[in-house]
Amino acid sequence: MVPTDYPCRMFPAAYDRKYVDGTNILASDKQLYIGSIGLGVPPRVGDVAIGVDGTEYHVIHDDPNNYDGMTNFVFILLGRV
C-alpha cells in the first residue's frame, strides 16, 4: 500500500492531567482536532497525522463527531508521538 497525504486543518492539544493514566493516555499524547471541511477521507486508527512542525502523531483512537448522526463535523483523535 502506498501512503497518501491528505491536507487538513489540525489542532494538537495536550490532555488535561486528570485523563492521563499512563496506560490508555500517556503524558506525551495529544488530542488532535481535525476539521472535516475539505477532508478527502476520514482519519482512522493506524493513520499518521503530521503537524506543521513535522511531528508525526500515530492515531491510537478516533472519535468522529457528527451531531446530526450523518455528517462528521470534527474528528477528535488520540495522537501518540
The reply to whether 38 falls in a domain is: yes
At 74 the pLDDT is 94
The reply to whether 39 falls in a domain is: yes
Mean pLDDT per 10-residue segment, the chain (81 residues): 88 96 96 92 94 96 89 94 94
The reply to whether 48 falls in a domain is: yes
In whole angstroms, give the CA distance from residue 69 to residue 58.
26
The reply to whether 54 falls in a domain is: yes
Q: Is 19 within 8 Å of 36 (Cβ atoms)?
A: no
The reply to whether 5 falls in a domain is: no
For cell 450523518, the residue is: 70
Total tally of structural domains belonging to the chain: 1
Give the domain extent around 57: 10-80
The reply to whether 3 falls in a domain is: no
In whole angstroms, give the CA distance from residue 81 to residue 27.
11
The reply to whether 21 falls in a domain is: yes
At 21 the pLDDT is 97
Q: Looking at this protein, which amino acid is placed at residue 71? A: T
